[in-house]
């Protein structure tokens, strides 16, 4: 793992935690502890050393790969988000622009998730309204909240 590019250990760990952890059954807790250790001892220190380093080419390369991942699957790159704030202040425009794009991708994904939750609530309220279980005022209030978030 130490030979991988800097973002891969984080992505690998996030993938295991989100997609594979249920397959471990009774060993699930031990696997989570082990993954957290790897994250804290290997993945994060390497990432921080590159992102806080002075080698702008290495930073750009890492950010470019992270940006591609954040477009396709923002959840996989989410652990990286807390290390981006300092990069927004860099004088190198390419670095700050890539960092801003990555942050925007995270924001869009978060908004998409919120809208999905609200959409589900709205479908449930609509079904209840059509079944006569809630009155028009409750439905109108839920619809207004949904439309406010959508804008």
pLDDT over threshold 80, residue 56: yes
Query: Can you read off the two tokens belonging to residue 31?
Result: 């696997």
List, for residues 90-123, the tens digit of each pLDDT value. 888 999 999 999 999 999 999 899 889 989 999 9
Q: Is the dihedral of CA 67, 45, 15, 11 positive or negative?
A: positive
User: Which CA distances in Å does 109 have to 96, 135, 145?
Assistant: 20, 33, 20
List, for residues 19-41, the tens digit of each pLDDT value. 888 888 888 889 889 988 888 78
* Res 120: pLDDT: 93
Domain boundaries, the chain: 8-110
Give DSSP secondary structure letters for 70-93. HHH-HHHHGGGGGG-GGGGG-S-H
pLDDT over threshold 70, residue 54: yes
Q: What is the pTM of this model?
A: 0.71
Q: Which of 35, 29, 41, 37 is nearest to 11 (CA)?
A: 35
Cα–Cα dist 31/39, whole Å: 12
pLDDT over threshold 80, residue 142: yes
């Amino acid at each position: 793992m130490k030979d991988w590019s800097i973002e891969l250990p984080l992505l690998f760990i996030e993938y295991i935690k989100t997609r594979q952890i249920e397959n471990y059954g009774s060993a699930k807790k031990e696997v989570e502890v082990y993954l957290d250790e790897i994250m804290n001892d290997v993945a994060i220190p390497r990432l921080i050393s590159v992102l806080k380093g002075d080698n702008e080419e290495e930073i750009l390369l890492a950010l470019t790969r992270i940006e591609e991942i954040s477009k396709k699957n923002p959840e996989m790159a989410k652990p990286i988000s807390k290390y981006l704030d300092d990069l927004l202040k860099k004088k190198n425009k390419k670095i700050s622009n890539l960092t801003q794009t990555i942050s925007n991708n995270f924001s869009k994904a978060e908004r998409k998730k919120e809208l999905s939750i609200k959409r589900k609530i709205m479908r449930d309220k609509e079904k209840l309204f059509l079944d006569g279980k809630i009155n028009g005022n409750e439905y109108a209030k839920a619809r207004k909240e949904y439309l406010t978030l959508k804008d």
